[in-house]
Amino acid sequence: MQAPASTGKTTLVRAWEHRAATLDPELVVHWLTRSHHEALPACLRAAAEDGTHSVDHGSSPAQLVGSLSARPSPHHVLVVDDAHLLPQVSVDLLSDLLEEAPGSMRLVVMTRQRIGLPLVVLRLHGSAQHLTHAELAFDHRETAELIGLIAPDLAPDAVYRLDELARGWAGPLVMSARAEAAGRGGATHTAMQLGTDFLEHLLADDWDALPPAVRHTLLATCQESDIGPEAAALLTGDLEASAHLAELAASGTLVGSTVVADGPAWRVHPLLRELMRRWTAPGGAHVDVVVAAHARAARGYAARNDAAPALRHARLSGEPALVVDMLTEYGPSLLCAARTDEVSEAFVALPTTVCEQPHVLAIDALLRRANGDVNGAARTAARAAASAVGVDADPALRADLALLGVWQGRYGWTDVRAAIRTATDILGCHHGAESHHVLQGLSLVRSAWLMVELAAAQAWTGDLSGAEIHVRDGLVAARSLRHHRLIAAALAHRAMLETIGGSFQTAAETAREALAEAATAGVSGDPYVGRAHLALGWAAFHELQMRSASDHLARVEAAPAAMADPLLVVMAALLRARLLAEDGRLDAAHRVLTGRLEIPEPIPLFLRRLFGVVRGQTAMMAGDAEALRLQIKDFRALGLHSEAQILEAFQVGVGGEPGAAVEMLDLLIDGEPTEETVAVGARALRVALCLRSGDLDRAHALVPDLLARAAPQRMLHLLTVCLIARARFLRVLRDEATRDGGHPWAQTVLDALSEKDRQFGEIGAPVDATGRGAVFKDADTGVLVTLTPRELDVLGQLALGGSYADISQALYVTENTVKTHVASIYRKLGADRRGKALSIARDHGLV
C-alpha cells in the first residue's frame, strides 16, 4: 500500500484484520511498526534459515523470529508499517526473499514512497497487489457518509466543497469535518486552513527528502491546475520535469495523472498546491522560484508565438515591463479572438503609471471597444493619440492608433479620410495594375484586422473598390492565420459589399460562410455577424421570402452593438422600409425613409442611390406621381440618370403611353447600365410595358433575356413590376416554362409571382382616354395631385361606407392592396382619416 500520510492505510489494514479474524479464527497478524524496524533483518534471516517457534500477535522480535522460521502458514501474516523508513539493508532483504521464495510468507507493506520491492514481477505472476492513493481515496458517497458521521448537520453545499477540497484524502477531511462540527468558520476557509496546516506538518519530512530538482518542479508549477509536459518544461527550465512529475504520480504521492485536451498531464492535490502557493506568495520563502518560472514560461511561449499563455505567464510573473511587452505584442491578437478576459486580467496586474504609456493606452482603447464601452474607448483612444505625439512610434503602436482612427472616423468622431490615409500608409498600399501591400514590422494579425477595419471605413466614404481590395487581402491574411473570427469579420464585410453591388445570392453564400466561421470561433453574437444576417435578409427579400428576410433583419435590430455601425443602420432601415411596403404599410415605410437616422454626414452616393431606389419603388406601389417626380429630380441632381430614366419610363408608361416608355427603356438598355439591378429592373419594366401596350410578341421575345439576367442572383422582386400586366405576364411565363428550350427559371418565377398580391397591378391598371384618373391642384400648396383610376374606385367604395373586406370583395383585390391604396389616398389628400379624406374629395368633385 503506497500513499501519503493520513490516507487511511493503517485504518484499512486494521479493519481488514478485524473482518478476516472473524472468518479465520486461526489467523495471526504480526505487526512490525516503526519502533521494531531494526529487528526486521534478523527476523528475515531467521525465517530464511530454520525457525520453528510460533508466537502470538504483538510478539517481541525474538518471538517473531521463531514464527517466521516455521513452515509457511496461510494463517500467518506479517504487516510492515511505515516501510519507507526501513533501512536499505532491510529493503534489500525483503526484495531477495520475495524474488527467491515469494510463497514463503504473506506480507503487507505500508509505505509513503516507493521502496524498491519487485512488485512488477510479483504482479505479473499474480502474487502481489499494489494499492495507491487513487484506490484508497474516498469516493463521493464515502466522503458524504464519513462527514455525516462527524458533522451530521453540515449543509450539502458545504459537504460538496469539503469533498472537492480534500479529494478523498482522509486526514484533512476528518479534521475539517470536525472543525465544522465545532462551528469554527465557513467550510471552504476552515477546510483549507486546517488542511494545509495539517499537510505542512505531515509533509515536513517527506518534502525535505525529495531531491532538489523535484522540489523545484513542484514549486515552479504550483500555480497550474493541470500541468502538461510543455508547461512543465517551460516553467522549470528542466527537460526532466515531466519525468519528475510522472514518477511522483506513479509512486502514489500527492501528484496524480490526468488527461486534458492536449494530452497527458499531472494534477497536484489541491491542499499541497495551496500549501506551495503560501510558500511562493509575495514575502514567501520560495517566491523567487515562481517569479522566475513564469517569466521563463512567458518568454518561451512568446518564442512560439503562443499569445494567451505568453500573456498569462507574464501576468503571473508580476513583472510590469514583461506584461507590457506581451500585452503590446499579443493584446490585439487576443482581442481579435474575443479573449477579452485574458487582456483585462493583464491590465489588473499593471500599476496605474504604466497604464499611461501610449502602447498600453491604445490596447486599453481596443479592449474597451471590444467590451462595448464605446465612449470609454473613444476617450482612451484620444489619450493614446495625444500621448504618442512626439514619440518615435513603432509599427505596432502606429497600427493600433490607425485601427482606432478608422473606427472613430467611420462614426464621424474624427476625420475619416485622414484616418484612411494614415491606415493605407501603414499598410504600404499600392493599388495600381497589381495591388499589393508592403508590411514592414507589422504582425499579420494586426495587418488583417486593420485591413478589415479600413475596408469598413472606405465603404462608408463610398470607395467600394478600395473596400473590396482590403476585404480580399484581409481575408487572405486571416485565412493564412486560421483566425476564424477575423475570417468571419472579413466575410461579413464582403457579403455587405456584394449586397450593395446587387450580387444578392453571392452575398448570401458569403454570409453563410461568415456565420459558420463565427460559430467555429464561438462568436455568433459578434457585431460583425449583423452584416451577415443583413446580407441574408436582402437576399431573401429579393427571392420574395419575406418571412425569412424579416427574421434576419430582426436579428440585426436586436443587437445594439451591430446597429451602431452606420452602414448597417442605413441598410437595415432600407430593408425595413421595403418589408413594410410589401406588407401594404406604405405610410410606415414612408416614415422610415424620411425619418432621421443617427449616422454621420455625408451619406455616400451609393447609399443615397439605394434610398432613392426604395423611395421610387414605394411611390410606384402607391401610385404617387408627385413623389415619383421629386425622386426623378433628385436622381438627376445626383447624376444617377439611369435610375431617373426608369422612373420616368414607369410614369409615362402607366400614364397612357407605354410605347413611348418602351422606347425610353430601349435606349437605356442599349447603353448597358453598369449597375446590374438597373439592368434587370429596366428589362423587367420594358417587358411589362410591352404587355400593357399589347405587343405580346416582343414581350415573348424579351422574357428569356430578362430571366437570364435576373436568374443568377434570383432577383425575383425586380420582376414584380411586371405585375402591372399580371395576367398577360403570367401567361408569357407559362409559355416560356413549357416551350422546348425555355428558360429553366421560368417555372420558379411563375410559381412565385402567381402567389404575389397585385399591388403594382392595381396601380398600373390599363387606362384609356376616358379613365385616366383625376388631377387637381392642392389649394394650399398649388401642387398638382394625381389619383389613379383604381384609387378613384377605392375612394368611391369608401364613400359608400364599406370596410376593407367589403372593398376587397367589390374590387376583387386583397385587403392588403386596399390598405395600400387607402394609405396613398390619405397621403395625397393630406388626410389622416376617412371622414376628412371624403370631405376633401367632395370639395374637388371626386365623389
Can you give the pLDDT at residue 71? 52
Residue 242 near residue 122 (C-beta atoms within 8 A): no
Alpha carbon distance 56, 516 (integer Å): 77
Beta strand 263-268 pairing with 255-260: antiparallel
Mean pLDDT (the chain) is 84
Model confidence pLDDT, tens digit, residues 388-422: 887 777 889 999 999 999 999 998 899 999 999 99
Tell me the average pLDDT across 133-142: 82
Can you give the pLDDT at residue 79? 87
CA distances from 618 to 221, 392, 612, 623 (A): 69, 56, 10, 9
Length of the chain: 847
Lowest pLDDT segment from 131-140, 190-199, 810-819, 832-841: 190-199
Model confidence pLDDT, tens digit, residues 473-513: 999 999 999 999 999 999 999 999 999 999 999 999 999 99
Model confidence pLDDT, tens digit, residues 255-314: 878 887 767 889 887 767 777 888 888 888 899 999 999 999 999 999 999 999 999 999
Model confidence pLDDT, tens digit, residues 555-567: 998 877 545 789 9
Angle (CA) 562-563-569 rounded to 5° is 130
Lowest pLDDT segment from 227-236, 338-347, 532-541, 799-808: 799-808
C-alpha cell belonging to residue 450: 486593420
Alpha carbon distance 159, 15 (integer Å): 25
Can you give the pLDDT at residue 776? 67
Can you give the pLDDT at residue 355? 92
Can you give the pLDDT at residue 84? 84
Can you give the pLDDT at residue 157? 82
First to last CA, the chain: 106
Can you give the pLDDT at residue 448? 94
Tell me the average pLDDT across 61-90: 66
Can you give the pLDDT at residue 536? 98
Burial of 173 (0-12, 13-18, 19+ CB in 10 A): buried
Phi, psi of 28 (to 5 degrees): -125, 120
Residue 584 near residue 819 (C-beta atoms within 8 A): yes
Alpha carbon distance 84, 2 (integer Å): 9
Using a pLDDT cut of 90, give the percent of the chain over it.
45
Which amino acid, 102?
P
Tell me the average pLDDT across 646-656: 87
C-alpha cell belonging to residue 580: 413594410
Using a pLDDT cut of 70, give the percent of the chain over it.
87
Model confidence pLDDT, tens digit, residues 173-201: 776 677 666 664 444 444 445 445 555 65
Tell me the average pLDDT across 212-218: 93
Residue 445 near residue 480 (C-beta atoms within 8 A): no
Can you give the pLDDT at residue 777? 62
Phi, psi of 494 (to 5 degrees): -60, -40
Between 449 and 621, name the one with better pLDDT: 449
Judge if the upstream peptide bond of residue 152 is cis by omega within 30 degrees of 0.
no
Model confidence pLDDT, tens digit, residues 762-812: 343 333 333 346 766 666 665 557 777 778 888 889 988 889 988 888 887
Tell me the average pLDDT across 47-63: 42
Strand, coil or helix: 28 = strand
Can you give the pLDDT at residue 345? 94
On the question of pLDDT at 61 being above 50, the answer is: no
Can you give the pLDDT at residue 282? 85
Band (119; pLDDT cuts 50, 70, 90): confident
Alpha carbon distance 215, 208 (integer Å): 9
